[in-house]
Amino acid sequence: MKQRLHLTFPEHLITEPVIYNLAKRYDLVTNIRRANVEERVGWVILEVEGSEDALEAGVEYLLGMSVQVDRIDGDVLEG
């Protein structure tokens, strides 16, 4: 299953390997489609592929880290 997510990172996470940790912890394949990182804020359009359970757990992980997660509807691909 694939999802496209818009992630907004708070300042304290800008230098942290959040996407790397997401992929490793939940066995997800990530693909950064677009990103903008500045000193105080950053956002990423991220394609994420994995099992439905892993995707749900990964989103919960991001939310728990104070990352704003918005699913991009109409662009979800079934794998």
Tens of pLDDT, residue by residue over 28-71, are 999 999 999 998 889 999 999 999 999 999 999 999 999 999 99
Check pLDDT > 80 for residue 74: no
DSSP class of 1:
-
3-state helix vs strand vs coil in the chain, percent to 5:
30, 35, 30
Output the pTM of the full model.
0.87
In the chain, the domains with their CATH numbers are: 2-71 (3.30.70.260)
Torsion of CA 66, 32, 6, 36, to 10 degrees: 80
**9-14: average pLDDT:** 93
d(CA 20, CA 31): 11
Sheet holding 68-71, edge to edge: 29-37, 42-49, 2-9, 68-71
- Cα–Cα distance for residue pair 55/49, rounded to 1 Å: 7
